[in-house]
Amino acid sequence: MKQKLIGPFTQLLPMTGIAVKGAVTDEELVVIKNGGIIVKNNTIVAVGPYKDLLKQIDIKNTLLEEVKGDSVCLPGFIDSHTHICFGGTRANDYAMRNAGKTYLEISKAGGGIWDTVTQTRKASILELEEGITKRANKHLKNGVTTIEVKSGYGLSVYEELKMLRAIKNVDNKIKADLISTCLAAHMHPKDYNGTASEYLKEISISLFPLLKEERLTTRIDAFIEEGAFTAEVIAPYFKKAKEMGFTITVHADQFSTGGSKVAVDYDAVSADHLEASTDEEIKILAKSDVISTALPGASIGLGCAFTPARKLLDAGGAVAIASDHNPGSAPMGDLLTQASILGTFQKLSNAEVLSGITFRAAAALSLKDRGALNNGFMADFIAFPTSNYKEILYLQGQLKPSYVWKKGTKIDF
């Protein structure tokens, strides 16, 4: 395959030279004026001023893919936390919640997470695949080239397998990359005949080996919360997962604290939510290598406080930002809009928000080949129709990318 020179971009932000942890100012962002990218075999081989790249290429062996008009080029966005494999809708719950109904009243009316579990179990694998494809392709159009997708609405060995197989099948078919995670420990299923510990034991004995065998995921997640799983109950489950070589990630500190300590204790790659984290949790997270993932979509969906991203960054923590796209608490599913809004409420710089949805999100998924425009990295990048990168977050998600390249190929939508 011939190499390609793509550009010129009015501004090109490679998102390189910034640490994974800590606060960042916009002055620290590298901005290449009239930049270009050379791509070969899905991979970036050079990034720099377009004129310099033109001089260094062998023109006979290079295709020129010209970009016309104003454009700001960034790495493809990464959404490191979603639940886009589900059946049904929770529009009724949303209306009831906003009308002041309590969790219990919504549950009695047939709503709540159990409704999604029921609808997901009812759905065929093909129906689940259709839903994932539709949501992932919308994300891709909005510049999200890598998307994490969790199971967790099956809550039995058979139904969790169905979800994870659906995610894998869609990953093989669509252009965006899907990174799957097993969230069988989302809640204690109310139809399970046994305790929470017995449920987790059954999952670890019967499901974990199949995840390996079918290569369905390398990641195990759990919801640590009062009313879901406590630190004590999850201990043998995470221990077993680690012994088998799975990477741990945690739903932590959403309504009550405790989860972030579990994340640190089990060397989780990320602790996600953290809306309830206090100075104590912020301190232990910032000291660790755990990526703290803010989920502004859940705060917007529930009308709750945002993750203390400013404090986490100032304490030296690493902050990724993800959509948490799910039918219950985060129905919007628009990563850029949510990240922009988090920035206004938490007083984050452009550099911090953009880092949170690029290379810091890649770190939350243990991905070392994307999230920045570096030589040797996957050629995933996007271009916005503007001449100033600050317009992107300023327009709060309403400015969409005009072009998306996945593995070096411009996608036709």
Phi first, then psi, for residue 257 (nearest 5°) are: -85, 170
Q: What share of the chain is helix, strand, coil (3-state, %, to 5)?
A: 40, 20, 40
CB of 295 to Zn ion, least distance (A): 7
CB of 331 to Zn ion, least distance (A): 13
State how far the Cα of 159 lies from the Cα of 124, in Å rounded to an integer. 10
**Nearest to residue 246, comparing CAs of 276, 273, 208?**
208
Closer of 47 and 268 to Zn ion (Cβ): 268
Closer of 149 and 284 to Zn ion (Cβ): 149
Which residues of this chain interact with Zn ion, rule CB under 5 A?
324
Please count the other Cβ atoms lying within 10 Å of the Cβ belonging to residue 89: 14
Closer of 75 and 297 to Zn ion (Cβ): 297
The DSSP string of 306-366 is: PP-HHHHHHTT-EEEE----BTTTB----HHHHHHHHHHHHT--HHHHHHHTTHHHHHHTT
Are residues 360 and 339 in contact, defined by beta-carbon separation less than 8 angstroms? no
Closer of 12 and 320 to Zn ion (Cβ): 320
CB of 82 to Zn ion, least distance (A): 8
Are residues 411 and 405 in contact, defined by beta-carbon separation less than 8 angstroms? yes
CB of 218 to Zn ion, least distance (A): 18
Are residues 329 and 310 in contact, defined by beta-carbon separation less than 8 angstroms? no
CB of 385 to Zn ion, least distance (A): 32
CB of 185 to Zn ion, least distance (A): 12
State how far the Cα of 45 lies from the Cα of 58, in Å rounded to an integer. 14
Closer of 225 and 324 to Zn ion (Cβ): 324
Closer of 82 and 340 to Zn ion (Cβ): 82
Distant-in-sequence, close-in-space partners of 294: CB < 8 Å, separation ≥ 6: 274, 306, 307, 309, 319, 320, 321, 322, 342, 346, 356
CB of 301 to Zn ion, least distance (A): 11
Q: Which residues pair with 63 in a beta bridge?
A: 4
Closer of 253 and 324 to Zn ion (Cβ): 324
CB of 254 to Zn ion, least distance (A): 8
Q: Which residues pair with 47 in a beta bridge?
A: 37
Burial (CB count <10 Å: 0-12, 13-18, 19+), residue 232: exposed
The residue whose Cβ lies closest to Zn ion is: 324
Closer of 177 and 275 to Zn ion (Cβ): 275
Residue type, 75: P
